[in-house]
Amino acid sequence: MTNTRMFLTMLFGAVFRRRSRASMAVVASMVGAATLFCLAAVCLEVPRQMNQEMRAYGANLVVTPIQQAGQSRQGIEPGMVSHTTEMVTAKAPARHATYRYESVRVNAGSHMMAGIDAEQVCQLNHHWNVDGEWPKAGSVMVGRDLADALGLKPGSRITVSYRASDNADDAPVEGTASGAEQSDARQTADAQSESHSASGASSGGSGHMHGMAGMHDNSGQSNEQAQAQNLAQQGSQAPVDESIAKDAQESGMELRVGGIVDTGGSEDQIIYASLHDMEALTGAKRGSDVIEYSVDAMGPDLSAIAKSINEMTSMGVTARTVARITSGDTHTITMLQTLFWLVSIVVLVLTFVGVGTTMASIVSQRRSEIGLRKALGASSGSIGAEFYAESALYGFLGGLIGTALGYLFARLLCTSVFQRSLGFSWWLALTSVLLSIAISVVASIRPVHRASRIDPALVLREE
């Protein structure tokens, strides 16, 4: 019989001869593994699912240009958009969309028009309810509130005109405007913020965030909104086609209403057009006023991305995060994470004590056996290896059964309390089993040390 076979025979013989003690060690490991797996699955999976759901409701990171006093508004050039996007996607997967804002006239009334890439915006904002088509050459998409006010519906035609005076270079910029001008700009942005926040509350806190939207971010939104609003009301542009631009500015551009967008937010007061039509109307090409990102990151990871952009002052842009999880959801996540750590510590201690006590009892019962083996020439190392292997086996069995039970409990908890499905995480299961084995082995160190110090002469004399 080989040494390995002899070792396994002794190991399994020791386990099955003392099934009651072995069961206690397995149960201790099982309870610990089940509790830890259940809590970890819920505390990790629920916030991840919530983050993914929030990504469907628009951006969680917004980038705007830094406007210096006395400088004309050029926006964020395409090259800088690409560079910023590369910085973001290097840290986490993300989608993005760009927006250019201009003040235009419709039926002598002043309204905001956004030049967009329809495909980008559509991919970023799945929650937008569009009746009709997205903007394309010759057609626009109008917000629901504005469409109702103007009596528009899909298929209607409107004449949009552009006046340079509505987008004057001397429009106030945050930090450079006079008090009265700054106050007016902020009142406009705050009014939109209140409207959007009220509608967002009724729809579960969802809504699209752009330079003018009233979503909340970590830094306080009123000043940022005022800045974006002011950016949209300035203008120094490079000419594109002077003949087309002159006709559009003097007589207006007739466009077809391709669709009506309903978001329940401030987007419902905006006209969305293709960038080509925007450039033809204004007679100018320039950069974007806002870049929105839907980043697959949250919390500190998302803040770190914004910080890395803000630290690159040479880029001429500033980034801020957007909180798309309601305060109630945030409180729930915080409570889950706190509960996870507290219960995890308690469970680890109890598992450690349970396995350690059981192994100490096993060592005490086997003193005569250990003494006899040492008298026959067995080394302390071989005896210790057997006990460590025995405790690892208890940890493996307990971890395996506990992980299975933990998954069932976690799935039941997610379904009944959070109304969410829960998939099986193999890496979490592997971690749970390995942690259970590690705790069992560590808990056996003291009992094994006592076993290795047994004096065979004293034990045999007692017998």
**CA–CA gap between residue 398 and residue 78 (Å, rounded):** 57
pLDDT score for 249: 47
Q: Is pLDDT above 90 for 152?
A: yes
Q: Is pLDDT above 90 for 177?
A: no
CA atoms within 13 A on the CB side of 296: 8
pLDDT score for 172: 35
One-character DSSP codes across 189-232:
HHHHHHHHHHHHHHTTS-----TT----BTT-SHHHHHHHHHHT
Residue of 106 and 3 predicted with greater confidence: 106
What is the pLDDT confidence band of residue 219, given thresholds at 50, 70 and 90? very low
Whether 267 and 261 have beta carbons less than 8 Å apart is answered as yes
pLDDT score for 335: 76
Q: What is the mean pLDDT of residues 426-430?
A: 90
Q: Is pLDDT above 90 for 113?
A: yes
pLDDT score for 405: 93
Q: Is pLDDT above 90 for 107?
A: no
How many other C-beta atoms are found inside a 10 Å radius of the C-beta of residue 124?
23
Summarize pLDDT for 318-327 with one digit per residue, the tens.
999 887 654 5
**CA–CA gap between residue 65 and residue 446 (Å, rounded):** 63
Q: What is the CA radius of gyration of the chain?
A: 33
What is the pLDDT confidence band of residue 97, given thresholds at 50, 70 and 90? very high
pLDDT score for 399: 92
Average pLDDT, the chain: 76
Pairing of strands 284-285, 129-132: unpaired
State the Cα angle at 361 between 360 and 363, rounded to 5°. Answer: 65
**CA–CA gap between residue 263 and residue 268 (Å, rounded):** 6
Backbone phi, psi, residue 312, to 5°: -90, 75
One-character DSSP codes across 8-58:
HHHHHHHHHHTHHHHHHHHHHHHHHHHHHHHHHHHHHHHHHHHHHHHHTBS
pLDDT score for 157: 93
What is the pLDDT confidence band of residue 214, given thresholds at 50, 70 and 90? very low
pLDDT score for 75: 86
**CA–CA gap between residue 63 and residue 77 (Å, rounded):** 12
Residue of 455 and 362 predicted with greater confidence: 362
Summarize pLDDT for 12-58 with one digit per residue, the tens.
666 666 677 778 888 888 988 998 888 888 877 777 776 666 666 67
Structure tokens at 367: 């003193």
pLDDT score for 380: 77
Strand locations in 39-108 (E): 61-65, 94-106
Q: Where do runs of H (alpha helix) occur along 323-375?
A: 327-365, 367-375
Helix axes 19-55, 327-365, angle to 10 degrees: 160
Q: Is pLDDT above 50 for 274?
A: yes
Pairing of strands 109-116, 94-106: antiparallel
Pairing of strands 270-274, 109-116: parallel
Q: Is pLDDT above 90 for 273?
A: yes
Q: What is the mean pLDDT of residues 304-310?
A: 93
Q: Is pLDDT above 90 for 144?
A: yes
Pairing of strands 157-162, 270-274: unpaired
pLDDT score for 115: 95
Residue of 130 and 451 predicted with greater confidence: 130
| 445 CB burial (10 A radius; 0-12, 13-18, 19+) | middle
State which amino acid sits at residue 133: E
Residue of 150 and 300 predicted with greater confidence: 150
Q: Is pLDDT above 90 for 238?
A: no
Q: Is pLDDT above 60 for 286?
A: yes
What is the pLDDT confidence band of residue 461, given thresholds at 50, 70 and 90? low
Whether 432 and 347 have beta carbons less than 8 Å apart is answered as no
H-helix or E-strand containing 461?
Answer: helix 456-462
Q: Is pLDDT above 60 for 358?
A: yes
User: Any idea which residue has 């994470």 for tokens?
Assistant: 337
pLDDT score for 454: 75
What is the pLDDT confidence band of residue 251, given thresholds at 50, 70 and 90? low
How many other C-beta atoms are found inside a 10 Å radius of the C-beta of residue 168?
13
**CA–CA gap between residue 79 and residue 317 (Å, rounded):** 13
Sign of CA dihedral 19, 24, 28, 31: positive
Whether 316 and 66 have beta carbons less than 8 Å apart is answered as yes
Q: Is pLDDT above 60 for 183?
A: no
Residue of 155 and 241 predicted with greater confidence: 155
Q: Is pLDDT above 70 for 117?
A: yes
Whether 61 and 436 have beta carbons less than 8 Å apart is answered as no
User: Any idea which residue has 């939207």 for tokens?
Assistant: 213
pLDDT score for 206: 35
Percent of the chain with pLDDT over 70: 70
Backbone phi, psi, residue 98, to 5°: -110, 150
